[in-house]
Amino acid sequence: MRLVLGIESSCDETAAALVTENRRIVAQRIASQDEAHAPYGGVVPEIAARAHAERLAPLIAATLADAGITLADVDAIAATAGPGLIGGVMVGLVTAKALAMASDKPLIAVNHLEGHALSPRLADATLQFPYLLLLASGGHCQVLLVEGVGSYRRLATTIDDALGEAFDKTAKILGLGYPGGPAVERLAALGDSKKVPLPRPLLGSAEPHFSFAGLKSAVLRAKQAGVHADADIAAAFQQAAIDCVIDRTRRALAGAGEATALVVAGGVAANLAMRAALEGLAGQHGLRFVAPPLPLCTDNAAMIAWAGQERLASGGEFVADALDFAARPRWPLDPAAEPVRGAGAKA
Ligand code: KG4
Ligand code: ZN
């Protein structure tokens, strides 16, 4: 039974996990940095990199100890090599390289987005390629046709903000602190979305792309107007975001011919209202709906270890990554995808 050690350090979670080829998470540890970043209302890269550097080695040792094994029992070491905050990515990748060299095990440099993209297959053994994936996190909002391991076709992306970023900014405007997504979701449950009119950017447009910058500005204006309850603003924001996501994903489905499942992954996939709406959309199109359990949606190392397992198992001869593999601050899953028009377009 192959066992992979996964390491994640691309944003504000320091994480290590051991995952078997038959999807068992043998051990995992996550050290969140929420408290360190909370006073600043967002992730401070320098603080994040230092925290990863301090915590990662003991965290890996503890994860191995939890499983009652040593590095000698591991078959490969998979680490996030990008995209993300470069200081943190380098800490994780350099650590993985050192462990790989010291133990003479293969290094697998994992694209963090691929970790998210394959995480639903860690949770659900029956999920087959190809599937349509909505990947919505703090840095990304994309719809991808996942054709196989290493084969991703981007059908849509955001032309400005990521969806998680919009949740985080709404939280900041409403004074809910950081991290924002879960706080907005909790407050939205107490409000009435119909009491605050908010725009739905790009709704109905022919291209399936996303835009959230205008929605964020409208949230700010609604707050500044001083006449709405915060819970109503949160509820209205969440409903507008969901309406946009459903409309845009429905549009993307038109280009996803062979997909048999609609899948959601990334931090925003932890939002239960969003999951329910996407499940409804999948049902309308006769597609299965798959969403990983909540702890696998936000950043974790189990998905990185699993991406390593998928690489080991994917057809052809497995080739380990070189020990001089450079950390990548940007690393699109679909390198052939054209940049989209719009201010500050993201990969
Ligand atoms: O995937 P992730 O943990 O990190 C990145 O790779 O970016 O995603 C983090 C993002 C944050 O923007 C956070 O606010 C959002 O996911 N998020 C949520 C929820 N939980 C996390 N957004 C909406 N509702 C949630 N329950
Ligand atoms: Zn992530």
Predicted confidence (pLDDT) at residue 214 exceeds the cutoff of 90: yes
Q: Quick one: pLDDT at residue 345?
A: 46
Torsion of CA 141, 146, 148, 151, to 10 degrees: -60
Judge whether 123 lies within some domain: no
Judge whether 235 lies within some domain: yes
- Tell me the average pLDDT across 11-32: 97
Collapsing DSSP to helix, strand or coil, 290 comes out as strand
Judge whether 20 lies within some domain: yes
Where does ligand 1 bind, in terms of residues with CB under 6 Å? 11, 137-139, 164-165, 167-168, 179-182, 185, 266-268, 270-271, 298-299
> What value does the mean pLDDT of the chain take?
95
Query: Quick one: 167 and 279 in the same domain?
Result: yes
Q: Are 170 and 237 in contact (CB under 8 A)?
A: yes
- Taking the centre of ligand 2 as the mean of its atom positions, its distance from the CA of residue 179, in whole angstroms, is 13
What CA–CA distance (Å, rounded) separates 167 from 138?
A: 9
What CA–CA distance (Å, rounded) separates 90 from 328?
A: 9
Domain-ending residue, one of 244, 275, 291: 291
Predicted confidence (pLDDT) at residue 10 exceeds the cutoff of 70: yes
Give the CATH number, domain containing residue 103: 3.30.420.40
Q: Which ligand is nearest to the CA of 115?
A: 2
Judge whether 256 lies within some domain: yes
Query: Quick one: 342 and 199 in the same domain?
Result: no
Query: Quick one: 158 and 205 in the same domain?
Result: yes
Judge whether 39 lies within some domain: yes
Predicted confidence (pLDDT) at residue 28 exceeds the cutoff of 70: yes
pLDDT in tens, 197-209: 999 999 999 999 9
Predicted confidence (pLDDT) at residue 342 exceeds the cutoff of 80: no
What CA–CA distance (Å, rounded) separates 130 from 305?
A: 21
Provide, rounded to the nearest whole percent, the portion of the chain with pLDDT above 70. 98
Q: Quick one: pLDDT at residue 272?
A: 98
Predicted confidence (pLDDT) at residue 343 exceeds the cutoff of 70: no
Q: Quick one: pLDDT at residue 162?
A: 96
The one-letter code for the residue type at 120 is P
Residue nearest to atom 22 of ligand 1 (CA): 181
pLDDT in tens, 139-172: 999 999 999 999 999 999 999 999 999 999 999 9
Here the tokens at position 102 are 């010291």
- Taking the centre of ligand 1 as the mean of its atom positions, its distance from the CA of residue 268, in whole angstroms, is 5
Query: Quick one: 154 and 284 in the same domain?
Result: yes
Judge whether 266 lies within some domain: yes
Collapsing DSSP to helix, strand or coil, 149 comes out as coil
Number of helices and strands in the chain (H, E) = 11, 10
Q: Angle, nearest 10°, between helix axes 302-313 and 112-123?
A: 90
- Taking the centre of ligand 1 as the mean of its atom positions, its distance from the CA of residue 34, in whole angstroms, is 12
- Taking the centre of ligand 1 as the mean of its atom positions, its distance from the CA of residue 175, in whole angstroms, is 17
Domain extent at residue 155: 128-291
Query: Quick one: 155 and 46 in the same domain?
Result: no
Query: Quick one: 284 and 325 in the same domain?
Result: no
Q: Quick one: pLDDT at residue 346?
A: 45
Mutational test site, ligand 1, from 141, 161, 167, 169, max ligand atoms within 8 Å of CB: 167
Q: Which ligand is nearest to the CA of 264?
A: 1
pLDDT in tens, 54-69: 999 999 999 999 999 9
Q: Quick one: pLDDT at residue 287?
A: 96
Query: Quick one: 24 and 89 in the same domain?
Result: yes
Query: Quick one: 278 and 231 in the same domain?
Result: yes
Here the tokens at position 240 are 């507008």
Query: Quick one: 224 and 199 in the same domain?
Result: yes
Q: Count how many domains the chain has.
A: 2
Query: Quick one: 191 and 97 in the same domain?
Result: no
- Taking the centre of ligand 1 as the mean of its atom positions, its distance from the CA of residue 293, in whole angstroms, is 14
- Tell me the average pLDDT across 103-122: 98
Predicted confidence (pLDDT) at residue 124 exceeds the cutoff of 80: yes
Q: What's the pTM?
A: 0.95
What CA–CA distance (Å, rounded) separates 222 from 234?
A: 10
pLDDT in tens, 287-311: 999 999 999 999 999 999 999 999 9
